[in-house]
Structure 1
């Protein structure tokens, strides 16, 4: 089967975007808000007409993730911030495999995400209430699948319960992209044998965007 590297690259950029947001939150207690909104919003459309539709039908919404994808694929560093990004990205892919093999967890996940839609009628997507609801879905449904993703950063920042909720909500968004990545034909083998295809596709998508203002 011919792989659609455009869709695979978009979905992987979605995973990388979440990974980078988690890293920013863990170290600084804040992150790129526009990118966070795109990632959280991606959780809500479970039957999208296209891969790009998951991210608001705009490639520019994934600029942060595409740039992160290039950083992850182009680094050989085994320590520091780039190694952290790679670890989060790969850990989300591993967890997605556990999820896709667990029918009960998948059913529970869709039911809980459907409930989020109802809460959105009363609360903003980035409100503490919704963050807490998304975080609890991650804790209840994703974490028990194991192995847990060890988030590292500033201890004082990570003790903040609002930051903890944001980190877990963002990891849940990363799982959404990991599920999408698998659905459009993504696989671990591409990370070993098709890195150049992914890098070139990410660069092509970025080059077609209008410059960031």
Structure 2
């Protein structure tokens, strides 16, 4: 394992997993429970002991993100779907950057997240509602609204809207991690083949279990 590329792969997979699940919900209404809650968990880790601890100390929690990321890097993904995913990713990175510069809003978000942790072991639907509210009331107003493409029947569903908002918040958490390790587009371009190799090793190990 090459730690440098391993640490680059994790937050990228976290971002990709969030936007893929958003796309899945918006177009099919499919709720991938395991990976949704894995992504949602990352929001609550404000003081991680390690990069992996943000994802519950288990690479399998972002396995879906690693698989989709590998397809993207290898250009083995439908063009239209890829364009939408990349658009969401770019928007998330820009929004997270704005939030990082807005110290007041950032502190409010952190405070709200800490207050939500009180309900961590209680009703999951309540957690979803509270995290969704943090995004819609504090983060969303910082920039033009993130436009989600999908089928109207799903986009108008209140429960799906809340889950999408939670996933946006989870995506922002991974974007913050990506920024903290000095991640940028040039590094993805220059180190693409090494990141691909690291992801392939990770996925190979995960498939053994």
TM-score, normalisation: structure 1: 0.89
Match for residue 61 of structure 2?
Answer: 61
Q: How does 1:94-113 map to 2 (within 5 A)?
A: 94-113=94-113
How many residues matched?
Answer: 207
* In structure 1, C-alpha distance between the alignment counterparts of 2:62 and 2:199, rounded to whole Å: 10
Q: CA deviation at 1:145?
A: 2.2
Cα distance change on mapping 1:49 and 1:161 into 2, 3 Å: same
1:155-190: CA deviations, max 9, x gaps? 111110110001001110111111111112312322
* In structure 1, C-alpha distance between the alignment counterparts of 2:62 and 2:177, rounded to whole Å: 14
Q: CA deviation at 1:77?
A: 7.3
Q: How does 1:7-46 map to 2 (within 5 A)?
A: 7-46=7-46
Please identify runs of 4+ aligned residues in structure 1 that moved more than 3 A. 76-79
More helix by share: 2
TM-score, normalisation: structure 2: 0.91
Q: What RMSD, in angstroms, separates the aligned Cα atoms of the two structures?
A: 1.9
* In structure 1, C-alpha distance between the alignment counterparts of 2:13 and 2:77, rounded to whole Å: 20
CA contact (8 A) 1:26 1:153 kept: yes
Cα distance change on mapping 1:141 and 1:78 into 2, 3 Å: farther
Q: CA deviation at 1:108?
A: 0.9
* In structure 2, C-alpha distance between the alignment counterparts of 1:79 and 1:155, rounded to whole Å: 22
CA contact (8 A) 2:29 2:154 kept: yes
Match for residue 87 of structure 1?
Answer: 87
Query: Which sections of structure 2, spanning at least 5 residues, go unmatched?
Result: none
Q: How does 1:1-213 map to 2 (within 5 A)?
A: 4-75=4-75, 79-121=79-121, 123-124=122-123, 126-127=124-125, 129-211=126-208
Q: CA deviation at 1:79?
A: 4.5
CA contact (8 A) 2:16 2:89 kept: yes
Q: CA deviation at 1:35?
A: 0.5
Worse-matched range after superposition: 78-87 or 159-168: 78-87
CA contact (8 A) 1:27 1:157 kept: yes
* In structure 1, C-alpha distance between the alignment counterparts of 2:75 and 2:142, rounded to whole Å: 29
Q: Any idea what SS the aligned residue of 1:4 has?
A: helix
Q: CA deviation at 1:120?
A: 2.4
Cα distance change on mapping 1:78 and 1:186 into 2, 3 Å: same
Q: CA deviation at 1:211?
A: 4.2
CA contact (8 A) 1:72 1:86 kept: no
